[in-house]
Amino acid sequence: MKNATLILAFCSLVTSVHAQRFVTREAQISFLSETPLEDIRAESKEASAIFDAATGQLAFQLPILSFHFPKALMEEHFNENYMESEQFPKASFRGVVAGLDPEKEGAQPVTATGALEMHGVSQERTIEGTMVRDGDGWIVEAQFEVACEDHNIDIPKVVTENIAEIIGVTLRAELKLK
């Protein structure tokens, strides 16, 4: 009887720990380069994300080639000249969420602190956003800025008036119980 109770307790612990992971492979990440001469927008709906509510760990991974632009030439220049997507095919963020009560329903302001890696350069970042408990999942939203120079993304002088030095990034992910 004692062994059966111990086994049931262990199984419920494993189930509850496993039940704390939420994932998606369809997170949306967009960016905007805004200058007086031209606005450049792109969007991806292929980012992956995982959130562990028990530990607060949050991770995103994005294939750079999944960004799509209104103009094919913009997409080509982005991948070949700026992001060098063949050499640096992914961007990622790995960090820990603070300020979240996993039991609370509704929107909560949160802060994620961790490493943003892009173009082969990792930078420690603190990103503010919101998380909403949504039934059996979470909705994660954030807006933040990325300076091109922080990730060694060179902008040739000939196009400096067309491409912003600081890029606005927006993300939205609907994570479901794994």
pLDDT single digits (tens) 122-174: 999 999 999 999 888 999 999 999 999 999 999 988 888 999 999 999 999 99
Predicted pLDDT at 175:
98
Distance between CA 45 and CA 101 in Å, rounded?
28
For each of the domains in the chain, give its residue range(s) and CATH number, in order of start: 21-177 (2.40.128.110)
Length of the chain: 178
Joined tokens for residue 85: 């997507």
pTM for the whole structure = 0.86
Q: What is the H or E stretch that residue 23 is in?
A: strand 21-34
Predicted pLDDT at 19:
54
43 CB neighbour count, 10 Å cutoff? 16
